[in-house]
Chains A and B, each alone.
Chain A
Amino acid sequence: MPYLEETVLAVVVVAIGLIATVVLRPAVLGTRAGKVLAFLALAVMPIVATGMGLSAHMETSKRTEFCLSCHVMEPYGRSLRVDDPSALPAAHYQNRRIDRDHACFTCHTTYTMFGDVKAKMTGLKHVYVYYLGEVPKKIELYEPYKNRECLHCHDGARSFEENEMHAEIRADLDSNATSCLECHDVAHEVESETKP
């Protein structure tokens, strides 16, 4: 939804205005209209604003800026900007094959809050570890990277379909028997991008 944050802000401002009326002029509650006003201000609008706000935060968490706001992700952010055409993240990011504002989420669509319940619990675990636990020195995916993350863009693309190697192993690519990363193996080379 476009302008979601602004819409939530508008609902919040109107709700606070109505709440101020109820709190500062309680006499309005003596009328039926006042009771309806109080119900809107103290129950309906806060629930609507909170629901929309939650949705806005979920959308925000898809943004590259959000992912890279944790300092442990900074090397992964740098891997988008390295001068190496063979590096997958850099090639996609620098050639605008992906939306730069959603660079992480485009290739990690089931990550943390956007997968199933297990993924959401993992997302909360990350928050816990970041603030209260110990972040592992080497950050790894919980399961092997699935070709689905590549094929949701490349499937049907002419450059992909006309490649002979892809055609030969297409069934294996579709079933994950062969990983795209077996050939395209330069992903996030974080160690070489971490400053000493």
Chain B
Amino acid sequence: MIEVVYALWRRDMIKFLRDRRQLITSLTRPFLWLLAFGFGLRASVRLPTGGADYVSFLVPGLAAMTVLFASMFAAISIVWEREFGFLKELLVAPVPRGAIVAAKILAGSATALIETSLMLLLSPLVGARFNPLGALASLPLLAIFGMTVNALGIIVAARMKSFEGFGAVVNFVIQPVFFLSGALYPISGLPRGLRAVVLVNPMSYVVDAVRGLCIGHHSFPLLLDVAVILGSAVIFAALATRAFRKMEA
């Protein structure tokens, strides 16, 4: 069982690592945000956090964003594999559906982790300043967030029969999750209604934890962040397994 999960995980990783172009293009998104948004607004943004400048403040939010996009779009492989037939080969094999889902979630999370690590590693080159040990400590949390997001992607992919359908639904989900997470701004100054929305978004707690670890600014206790991150991963993984079981080739 573990061996099968590993073999399936390894398959996705091999394909990810073979496709260098994808790895490089995936880094353009956070750096575009960092350069255009970070430097564009740095002069006019006065953060309540004191010390850190806006570029450094953005880095944790963009690290979480990188995971959000990478892990969500990794789930499109299910739509892809159904379209091109490989999924049937998996579904007809004597492999528990749960093992396939576990491998997908772990691979989606691992690819997202590679991308976000690169992003964190390279961001000091454009002038971001943060605690490197804090960034290192953030990686497990970002990885678990990656599992949650990939599980959500699987839930969508299990119902979608086309790339277009998947793309449309995922964009519909991904944009509000990103913009209403505090990735781009401190949540302390938000109006009450908007703040309530941010508080039910699991990504807010990821951003908060990573920002706390990297630049020492956070709104919630770290323990609460970790609890939400772990809890949402468990819930979404369970839902993804259920959705995948119900799916037919």
Q: Tell me whether A and B are bound partners.
A: no
